[in-house]
């Protein structure tokens, strides 16, 4: 613990909290960034969209938004989402034409946004976005994902940033690794090799983790495993949420208890509705912030002030920056028991909550006040 506190005193971030736009920086809204009072922005565009020609780095609205954020003075945590598995792609061989094409695409994007990057992350969720065979040792002992990550660092990132006399080399992080509380990822050869690479390589600033959980004990379990290998370097958490918990409760009825029954009666909802049906109503017709907050207050499993719970752990394990979604993205109207539930998380709920009287998007009553309080409590004073 003493080591972690010393580490925090030596870094420039000290547990700051910022806004996350995942893979869609084009939705960045500076009005609501101002209301959230953040200094940091995080985004990881899907680089395959550019590599396949669906998007172009030049004059791309998403990248233009990133540049505008940098010019406005926001600090930027940036990286690429390498969707190999989604596209049924093997990681290209080192030095191959396919690798060169991907690296050229990355270089073109860095030419646009690089001068504004304060943290560069070498991936998004590599243990989910890479085909299984590319995360295992080959006969010669090499692991394709590990080789690709190292070459991305030394063939693309460092050559670009070392030649950028304006911005210089940003802090560079490996990851982000989700769900390190799961056995399958703790036993993943590529994950463990990259954790060791993070710990032992002086060119790497630290480690990035994602913490989407079903139980708050999973936070500690993920950190404990990470810290068993990456013992001293700082950690960032670009994504965290209760998403797994929310999904596990989608089929729970409103009237699971007396409080839930009375909630349904008060707001004119069918007490037999499952939660996914109530979410469908919210995502289709909007509900008031009061109803939104009241529903969660009836759930015995819902951890009030969960952002404070996370940040207590972040302090314990040496996290220097975390980012959280500003606006809703995936917000399905046709909710089913198997639907995603990311829409519950964001600081502002422009699709699920009724607008304010002045037409502004309503803040999420589950987290907005705690979010702003954490931002301002942990803000680093400007020099």
Domain spans in the chain, listed from the N-terminal domain onward: 2-248+304-329+358-377, 254-297
- CATH code at 2-248+304-329+358-377: 3.20.20.80
What pLDDT shows up at residue 378?
A: 86
Question: Which residue from 267, 334, 238, 257 is spatially nearest to 299, judged by alpha carbons?
Answer: 257
CA distances from 47 to 66, 104, 156 (A): 15, 11, 14
What pLDDT shows up at residue 166?
A: 62
pLDDT by 10s per residue, the chain, length 383: 334 434 444 344 468 999 999 999 999 999 999 999 999 999 999 999 999 999 999 989 999 999 999 999 999 999 999 999 999 999 999 999 999 999 999 999 999 999 999 999 999 999 999 999 999 999 999 999 999 999 999 999 999 999 865 668 999 999 999 999 999 999 999 999 999 999 999 999 999 999 999 999 999 999 999 999 999 999 999 999 999 999 999 999 999 999 999 999 999 999 999 999 999 999 999 999 999 999 999 999 999 999 999 999 999 999 999 999 999 998 999 999 999 999 999 999 999 999 999 999 999 999 999 999 999 998 877 65
Region label for 189, one of left (φ > 0), alpha (ψ between -120 and 50) or beta (otherwise): alpha
Neighbours of 131 (CB within 10 A): 17
**What's the predicted TM-score (pTM) here?**
0.93
What pLDDT shows up at residue 116?
A: 95
Q: Are strands 75-79 and 235-241 parallel, antiparallel or unpaired?
A: unpaired
Question: Which residue from 212, 219, 213, 208 is spatially nearest to 177, judged by alpha carbons?
Answer: 208
Do the beta carbons of residue 336 and residue 7 sit within 8 Å?
A: no
């Amino acid at each position: 613990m003493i080591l972690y506190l010393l580490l925090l005193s030596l870094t420039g971030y000290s547990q700051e909290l910022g806004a996350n736009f995942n893979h869609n920086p084009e939705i960045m809204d500076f009005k609501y960034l101002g209301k959230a009072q953040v200094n940091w922005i995080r985004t990881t565009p899907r680089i395959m969209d550019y590599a396949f020609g669906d998007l172009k780095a030049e004059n791309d609205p998403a990248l233009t938004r990133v540049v505008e954020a940098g010019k406005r003075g926001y600090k930027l945590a940036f990286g690429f989402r390498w969707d190999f598995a989604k596209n049924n792609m093997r990681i290209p061989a080192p030095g191959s034409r396919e690798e060169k094409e991907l690296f050229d695409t990355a270089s073109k994007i860095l030419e646009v946004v690089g001068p504004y990057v304060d943290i560069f992350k070498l991936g998004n969720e590599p243990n989910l976005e890479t085909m299984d065979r590319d995360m295992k040792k080959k006969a010669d002992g090499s692991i394709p994902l590990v080789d690709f990550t190292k070459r991305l660092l030394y063939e693309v990132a460092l050559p670009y940033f070392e030649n950028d006399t304006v911005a210089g080399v940003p802090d560079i992080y490996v990851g982000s690794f989700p769900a390190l509380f799961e056995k399958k990822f703790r036993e993943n050869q590529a994950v463990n090799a990259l954790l060791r690479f993070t710990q032992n390589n002086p060119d790497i600033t630290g480690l990035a983790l994602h913490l989407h959980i079903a139980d708050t004990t999973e936070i500690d379990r993920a950190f404990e495993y990470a810290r068993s290998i990456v013992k001293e370097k700082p950690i960032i958490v670009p994504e965290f949420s209760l998403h797994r918990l929310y999904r596990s409760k989608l089929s729970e009825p409103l009237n699971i208890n007396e409080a839930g029954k009375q909630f349904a009666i008060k707001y004119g909802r069918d007490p037999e509705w499952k939660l996914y049906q109530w979410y469908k109503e919210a995502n289709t017709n909007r509900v008031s912030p009061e109803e939104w907050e009241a529903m969660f207050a009836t759930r015995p499993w819902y951890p009030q002030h969960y952002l404070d719970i996370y940040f207590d752990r972040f302090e314990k394990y040496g996290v220097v920056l975390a980012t959280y979604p500003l606006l809703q993205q995936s917000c399905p109207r046709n909710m089913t028991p198997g639907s995603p539930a990311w829409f519950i998380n964001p600081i502002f709920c422009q699709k699920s909550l009724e607008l304010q009287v002045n037409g502004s998007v309503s803040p999420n009553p589950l987290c907005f006040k705690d979010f702003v309080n954490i931002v301002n409590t942990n803000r680093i004073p400007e020099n």
